[in-house]
A and B are shown apart, each in its own frame.
Chain A
Amino acid sequence: MREPFIFRFLSALDARTRAGVSAFLALALIAVPLLHLLLPAGSPFHVSTYAITLVGKIMCYAIVAIAMGLIWGYGGILSLGHGIFFALGGYAFGMYLMRQIGRDGSYQSDLPDFMVFLDWKELPWFWQGSDSFLWAALLVVVVPAVVAFVFGYFAFRSRIKGVYFSIITQALTYAAMLLFFRNETGFGGNNGFTDFKRILGHSITSSEMRLVLFGLTAVVLALTFIFAKWLVSSKYGRVLTAIRDAESRVMFIGYNPLWFKLFIWTLSAVLCGVAGALYVPQVGIINPSEMSVANSIEIAIWVAVGGRGTLIGPIVGAFVVNLAKSWFTVSFPEYWLFFLGLLFIVVTLLLPRGLVGLWKTLRTAQGAKA
């Protein structure tokens, strides 16, 4: 008897994962809002606005890390240009946020400030409809998906693999960054979008809006994790890892690797786009530096540090590296990149399976002793 799809979907989760996800959601949706709103700012248990923004931002990065973990850890495809999809999602939603400013900008115009500055008289065609929240939400998904699908189709059909693929993704992101730096492209040049005021008419800086965005990001992160868990435990996931390990053998038993790679690649891009759209209103700015080469490489480092070939690893990696980064850039701003490089070397040489791999090894060693 075939069980309903939803049961099979949920049965991909073991009891521990279910408990972990529930605890995480309870913390993010109930505990954090209460501690933020009810406790006075002086209390040691008060959760500050800074902390909410920081963790909210890192949760967006964690979604990107899962997306990277899927293609790299399970599909064997290393992208060094995933920043482009994150930024495209961010820009797509940023357009909506720019329109929500309305006449409250410096020039009191219906057009976004940068267009007034460029002496443009009307919205370019690709800004049409950007005042609609639903249209923006649609673009957040569709734009990264289309870019990834078209790029992926030609790259995978030409059997571009390994380091060659990584280099091309990096070139793609770099080219996009140069394009977005230009004022004429119509996305605010090197300043990008900022000074957002409202979402759906509500103030973007209010505590409530911050908590809503924080909670939404937590829910999306949890759903992404569950979905990815289900995906890798499906037959699709087994074929995908088989392609990673022995592509020609997979072809020989009748699967076409092109569509398997293209699906995970496009899905990964969409997840990055959604993460970017959640990131922009919380951080309050999107500019072309999100497409810089270093940013995209950092994504790969989160996954390497956390542990490839697992799904919890990328999340752990995103949190550890970014918490370290926010501490370092305050305490020793000039040494952060050196530390990042050192971290990458240490992990590559000593911890090929990342922190999660280290933890598993320690647990087995303990189990053997006991």
Chain B
Amino acid sequence: MSARDVFRSIIGIELDENSPYYAPKQRTLDVSHNVILYLDDITVSFDGFKALNKLNLMIDAGELRCIIGPNGAGKTTMMDVITGKTRPDSGSAFFGQTIDLTRLTEPEIAHIGIGRKFQKPTIFEQHSVFENLELAMTTDKRALKTLTAWLRDDDRDHIADTLRLIRLDGEANRPAGLLSHGQKQWLEIGMLLMQDPKLLLLDEPVAGMTDDETMRTAELFVSLVGKHSLVVVEHDMAFVKALGGKVTVLHEGSVLAEGDLDSVQNDQRVIEVYLGR
């Protein structure tokens, strides 16, 4: 029996778990069942329209999952629920075994290790590529601490590793605004990686990239598998094929089919949804 439990039994009240006076909840990620994300019966409706309708989804730790589906299938809403931007009307969302995502705010969710890349890359164009990664790096981000902040050797190594990973090691000192569109997308992914997220959510990461850049991005993502878990929303089937992971098809807010790309593409219901009835 912990001291707090003794105290509670003496004063005879049950503390509200949501009260700020309650000791902070256990926020370490527990992936003991090898699952990093559970979405269970999630429903979200906007003015009666069900953007998500009893959605169930489970992502394994270290997995790369592609989410496809026609427009309006609920892909972006699903991302919004995971990152705390939208609260579900019902259902539960758990990060690992213990962390209830529906109770956390957006910055808290970013802090516990879920990183999201939006469709449009937003990088700091006036800063160099190196500085963009430096700013994103996980460290003490309070204003007064940044006055005397300095880069340790392992910080520099960390940035150099990321630069190599996103193939921008030759561009470290260039202003980020001068990069090509594809390079900007990579830099944005690099900034995400500097925050060392356990789970990466990537919304159409190859939009606007050349075929060559698309294939290189696929290589990059495949190399991240194992260290990170990735959820990729994408329309580009060649890219999805190159990623080679499990594919989930969303339709009208719930899962229509799940499996490898070939089996999904041959699924009669999926063909109907994509080609129209």
Contacts and interface: CB of A to CB of B under 8 A. Distances in A.
B122 interface: yes
For chain B, the bracket of interface size reads 20 to 34
A251 B142 CA distance: 12
Contact of A254 (B107, B125, B127): B107
A254 B111 contact: yes
Contacts of B57: none
Contacts of B107: 251, 254
B190 to A, nearest CB: 12
B110 to A, nearest CB: 7
Given A249-B122, A254-B107, A238 B134 contact: yes
Interface stretch (A60-68, A186-194, A255-263, A292-300): A255-263
A241 B126 contact: yes
A263 B110 contact: no
Interface residues of A, number: 26
B126 A236 contact: no
Nearest to A260: B143
Interface string A229-251: 00100111011011001101111
A259 B126 CA distance: 22
B238 interface: no
Given A245-B124, A245-B125, A253 B195 contact: yes
B142 A245 contact: no
A242 B150 contact: no
Nearest to B195: A253
B147 interface: yes
A2 interface: yes
Given A239-B135, A242-B135, A249 B111 contact: no
Contact of B127 (A8, A238, A262): A238
B146 A242 contact: no
B143 A245 contact: no
Q: Is the interface of A mostly helix, strand, loop or mixed?
A: helix
A126 interface: no
A263 B144 contact: yes
A50 interface: no
Contact of A245 (B110, B126, B149): B126
B136 interface: yes
A251 B110 CA distance: 11
Contacts of A250: 135
A252 interface: yes
B131 interface: yes
Interface of B: 107, 110-111, 122-127, 131, 134-136, 138, 141-144, 146-150, 191, 195
Kindly list the 5 A-B residue pairs having the minimum CB-CB distance in the complex, ordered from nearest. A259-B143, A235-B149, A236-B146, A235-B146, A249-B122
Interface of A: 2, 5, 8, 231, 234-236, 238-239, 241-242, 245-246, 248-256, 259-260, 262-263
10 contacts: A235-B135, A238-B131, A238-B134, A239-B146, A242-B127, A246-B122, A254-B110, A254-B195, A262-B143, A263-B144
